[in-house]
Structure 1
Amino acid sequence: MWTIMTTMLRSLLRDSHTLVWNIAFPVAMLLGLGLYFNDPDYSPRLLSGVLTTNILFGATMVTAFQVMAQRNRGVYKLLRATPFRTTHFIAAMTGGRTILALFVSLCVIAMGVMILGVRLSFVSLALILLVLLVGTVCFTAIGFLAANLSKDENNVNMISNLMSFPMLLTSEAFYSLSSAPNWIVTLGQLQPFYYLVEAMSIATQSQGHYHGIWMPLLILLGFTVLSIGAAAWTFRWDGEQPVWWHPSSRRQVTSQTERG
């Protein structure tokens, strides 16, 4: 599994989608909005929004495109003939993406502290890393799900946008929903990004009052378990498989390959 994870990490660093959405996008957003508003009171919220948005778009956009591209190139057909489990493969790719996301997030946090003057305690930093870890796993699994439901690049782009932008717009990543209609708030509370933003906001803005972080973090963890299950259940080893591909069907194909 370690070999698969390091291979995935190297491929991520060579991928143009990764360079744009995971590295250039969060840095440009933090510096652009931070220097434009130049408000010390808004800087912690901006840092929280950039960190969570990076997780959202990096996972749903980059992961979905990468999984679909590898599947269409036939990479997964080779893995299908091996005893390597689907869940282990998803875990390996999630591990590579998590390492990259944490590294980029640490760079963004350092820029927020040095350039925007955001003050973070050791406890706050530890909680931020914990939230980032759970959030990256959750949304990487959602990226897998988007790729599993897609057939080509146009399709995966549409599905990724349909997943990510409603989550962003019904959250409080960059603005408050206190004046929004109740139905928008309700929709927001039914999706995982809302709780990722809530947990991250508490970690970056609470100034020592962190007890409220555990409920949104536990809810996010529940979404993570559901997302991993959905990603494993719908995972397709090649583009011609039906979406609902059962492990028993995989064993039958493998046994037929061995007999042939």
Structure 2
Amino acid sequence: MSAYSALTAAGYRAQVRDKTTVFFTFAFPLVFLVVFGLVFRGKAVEESGFSYLSYTASGVLSWGVANAAVFGIGFTLMQWRADDILRMIRMSPAPLSAVIGSRYVLALGVGLAQAVLFVGVAMLPGFGLVPASRWPLLIPVLILGITSFLLLGVTIGSIADTPESVAGIANFIMLPMAFLSGSFFPLDSMPDWLQKISLVLPLRYLNDAVSGSLTGRGDLADIGIGCVGLVVFAAIFGVLAARTFRWTKKS
């Protein structure tokens, strides 16, 4: 068995054993979908005519997938470094690409499973958010989004040395980004200066691309712009991850 396969299999077994984390990873976006569906049912955003739910559902899915990617690899790298697992891997023939690649495959699996479950619920009569002709576009969008945010998580997991610091740094980045990127409130109802700030946040591009795919808001060009933005941020976070990665606490 290759180092990549062994790390992927070990990571999968560790992930499925943690029943609590698995439950909340999948339940969290659905809870928000149901709550927002009940609160904002029938209400529209005046500037666009689209329902509040069409904004918030896309934003909640984007935020849920991004959070899972960031926290998943951030905590893993920190814990592996604290337990000297990374040091032992470094002394083996396994390359760094096997370490990150194994976590990447697991993050893709979690993110796509989240999306399938979320889309299934969103297509129910009470929500009816997903046009049949658009939802397959979610697949490439989510792959790009997971790639970008996983690389951000690598940077956080390389900087932080304790679970508290991983949670603190990740929440400090992800929570304000969620509000400023329109995950919970429509950007159309925000001041112009906040809308401009959102243009330098990766979650804004994931929200826009997911919204175009999930609810049909916007056209294919909007989805394409979102994907291009995610590629740019993936490149930026990739450079940061390469420069900050540490096998041990000292190097």
Both structures adopt the same fold (TM-score exceeding 0.5) = yes
Q: Is 1:138 the counterpart of 2:148 in the alignment?
A: yes
Q: 1:2, CA displacement in angstroms?
A: 2.8
Which of the residues 116, 121, 124 maps onto 1:114? 124
- Equivalent residue, structure 2, for 1:176: 186
Measure the CA separation in 2 of the matches of 1:115 and 1:53. Answer: 24
Q: How does 1:85-104 map to 2 (within 5 A)?
A: 85-104=95-114
Does 2:192 match 1:189? no
Separation in structure 2 between the aligned mates of residue 4 and residue 122 of structure 1, nearest angstrom: 37
SS in 2 for 1:110: helix
* 1:152 Cα deviation from its structure 2 partner: 1.2
The one-letter code sitting in structure 2 at the alignment partner of 1:29 is F
Q: Does 1:27 align with 2:30?
A: yes
CA distance, structure 1, for counterparts of residue 243 and residue 108 of structure 2? 21
Structure 1 unaligned segments of length 5 or more: list them.
242-260
CA deviation string 1:117-150 (max 9, x = no partner) = 3243444121112111111111111111111111
Q: Give the 3-state SS of the residue equivalent to 1:189 in structure 2.
A: helix
Look up the match of 1:211: 221
The answer on whether the counterparts of 1:64 and 1:156 sit within 8 Å (CA) in structure 2 is yes
CA distance in 2, matches of 1:18, 1:64: 14
Find the counterpart in structure 2 of residue 258 from structure 1. Answer: none
Aligned length: 241
* Change beyond 3 A, Cα 1:224–1:182: same
The residue aligned with 1:7 is 10
- 1:76 aligns to what? 86
Give the TM-score normalised by the residue count of structure 2: 0.86
Matched position secondary structure for 2:200: coil
CA contact (8 A) 2:160 2:166 kept: yes
Match 1:160 to one of 143, 154, 170: 170
Instruction: Give the superposition deviation at 1:39.
Output: 3.2
Ranges in structure 2 where 5+ consecutive residues have no aligned partner = 44-50
With normalisation by structure 1, the TM-score equals 0.83
Q: Is the 8 A contact 2:131 2:216 kept in 1?
A: no
For 1:250, the equivalent position in structure 2 comes to: none
The Cα shift of 1:179 comes to: 4.5
Match of 2:46 in 1: none
Structure 1 residues 88 and 99, CA gap change in structure 2 (3 angstroms): same
